[in-house]
Chain A
């Protein structure tokens, strides 16, 4: 079955710097890759997603890239702000299956 590995588990950056979180997946048939942000004590919320027919997607300060050949995808946050501090989860959806989540990355943005 699908397996998703996420790195790093913790990430600390200075405000204004960029942050990158990387995930790899094992099932080449996976076709949908969402990213969730979970603020302390709150529910995970979808922030951006990418489908397998697209290589990159941007939404203001966040972007996701997908390399199907290497089976990895990444979340990029530019000009980080303290409110970006949260746990971020990547996930992969095998065709016809259910979302498989990575272990999460705790991002801390220091003012």
Chain B
């Protein structure tokens, strides 16, 4: 089944403790992206990747890192999480940037930083 898999689904952590949210897709998509969703603010893009080893900042990149060493994986790294990063996170993928096909979203990761 074609899908985007995110882990974990739920995570509670403490301020400053490094964490990684994993994202993997099995559709051979070139384009992958991370979003955060907060009440009233819609989907805001954190980082995106157009292909292996090609990443770029989105609208709200501060406090986040990403890597794209393999085509299928696009982990989101929070080196020193803070409470303002408490949010619902979604990974998404598409055939390639600019392709007129919809994005496929992962199931989401609800992160709480205390």
Query: How would residues 93 to 114 of chain B score, 1 for a CB under 8 Å from any chain A CB and 0 otherwise?
Result: 0100110111111111000000
Asked if residues A98 and B33 are in contact (CB atoms below 8 Å), the reply is yes
Docked Cα-Cα span, A31 to B42, in Å, equals: 22
Docked Cα-Cα span, A51 to B104, in Å, equals: 18
Asked if residues A101 and B97 are in contact (CB atoms below 8 Å), the reply is no
Q: What total of chain A residues lie within 8 Å of the partner, measured CB to CB?
A: 23
Docked Cα-Cα span, A102 to B48, in Å, equals: 18
Is B90 an interface residue, CB under 8 A from the partner? Answer: yes
Asked if residues B108 and A42 are in contact (CB atoms below 8 Å), the reply is yes
Asked if residues B107 and A32 are in contact (CB atoms below 8 Å), the reply is no
Asked if residues A31 and B100 are in contact (CB atoms below 8 Å), the reply is yes
Asked if residues A46 and B42 are in contact (CB atoms below 8 Å), the reply is no
Q: Which of A41, A42, A46, A103 contacts B102, CB < 8 Å?
A: A46
Asked if residues A44 and B105 are in contact (CB atoms below 8 Å), the reply is yes
Q: Residues of B contacting A97 with CB < 8 Å?
A: 97-98
A-B contact pairs, 21 of them (CB 8 A): A32-B101, A34-B102, A36-B102, A42-B107, A43-B90, A43-B105, A43-B108, A51-B100, A89-B42, A89-B43, A95-B98, A96-B97, A96-B98, A97-B97, A97-B98, A99-B103, A101-B43, A102-B42, A103-B40, A103-B42, A104-B42
